[in-house]
């Protein structure tokens, strides 16, 4: 996994790899990130959730994988990679919705109408990510402190795939990311660290 030590490095990754696109998705990674953040902002979300929306798929861009993982039958665990990366820079209000946004899809997928509306890639990855949650898994998800934020993020995520949609630029959002990153310190006492799964590396998963 690409090690990220600053908000500026995250920005550079979005600008350099953000033009990539997955098979079955109609927008690039950067277009998707900007649309997702725009929906969050328009919904009046807190800055932490707007930044989470902007960075929710950063895990996809931290690996060396070229192509579309789900098309090759691979779950790249991007939510785990992304949350682990963001844990160095942001508090739980940013990184936990990122960590939970795949679980939120599995939660929402209990609704057949929700599943029918998913894109080709999202539907394909759903199966690799564990499929629809069981009743026990849903109950456990609902106990997560950031479950509600993750569900909101997921709805914006699913909608943020419209080709040609006009959004603010990365710079328009970035001051918030920098401000929140500066607020976090490496030695802080935070009880919502990502799970041990986050030690997983790109090489082992891909």
Residues in contact with Fe ion by CB under 5 A are: 57, 157
Shortest spacing between CB 135 and Fe ion, in angstroms: 26
User: Is the separation of the CB atoms in 47 and 172 below 8 Å?
Assistant: no
Q: Which is nearer to Fe ion, 79 or 91 (CB)?
A: 79
Shortest spacing between CB 109 and Fe ion, in angstroms: 15
64: left (phi over 0), alpha (psi -120 to 50) or beta: alpha
Q: Which is nearer to Fe ion, 90 or 156 (CB)?
A: 156
Shortest spacing between CB 36 and Fe ion, in angstroms: 6
44: left (phi over 0), alpha (psi -120 to 50) or beta: left
User: How many CB atoms sit inside 10 A of residue 134's CB?
Assistant: 12
Shortest spacing between CB 28 and Fe ion, in angstroms: 12
Q: Which is nearer to Fe ion, 38 or 157 (CB)?
A: 157
E strand map for the chain? none
Q: Which is nearer to Fe ion, 98 or 185 (CB)?
A: 98
């Amino acid at each position: 996994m690409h090690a990220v030590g600053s908000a500026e490095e995250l920005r550079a990754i979005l600008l350099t790899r953000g033009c990539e696109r997955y098979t079955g998705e109609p927008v690039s990674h950067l277009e998707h990130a900007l649309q997702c953040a725009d929906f969050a902002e328009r919904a009046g979300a807190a800055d932490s959730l707007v930044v989470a929306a902007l960075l929710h798929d950063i895990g996809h861009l931290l690996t060396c994988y070229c192509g579309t993982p789900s098309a090759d039958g691979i779950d790249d665990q991007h939510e785990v990679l992304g949350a682990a990366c963001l844990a160095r820079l942001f508090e739980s209000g940013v990184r936990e919705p990122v960590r939970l946004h795949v679980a939120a899809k599995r939660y929402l997928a209990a609704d057949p109408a929700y599943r029918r509306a998913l894109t080709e890639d999202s539907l394909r990855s759903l199966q690799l990510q564990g499929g629809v949650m069981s009743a026990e898994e849903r109950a456990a998800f609902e106990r997560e402190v950031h479950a509600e934020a993750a569900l909101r993020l997921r709805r914006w995520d699913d909608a943020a795939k419209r080709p040609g949609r006009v959004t603010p630029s990365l710079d328009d959002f970035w001051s918030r990311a920098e401000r929140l990153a500066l607020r976090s310190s490496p030695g802080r006492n935070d009880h919502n660290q990502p799970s041990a799964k986050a030690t997983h590396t790109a090489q082992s998963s891909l």
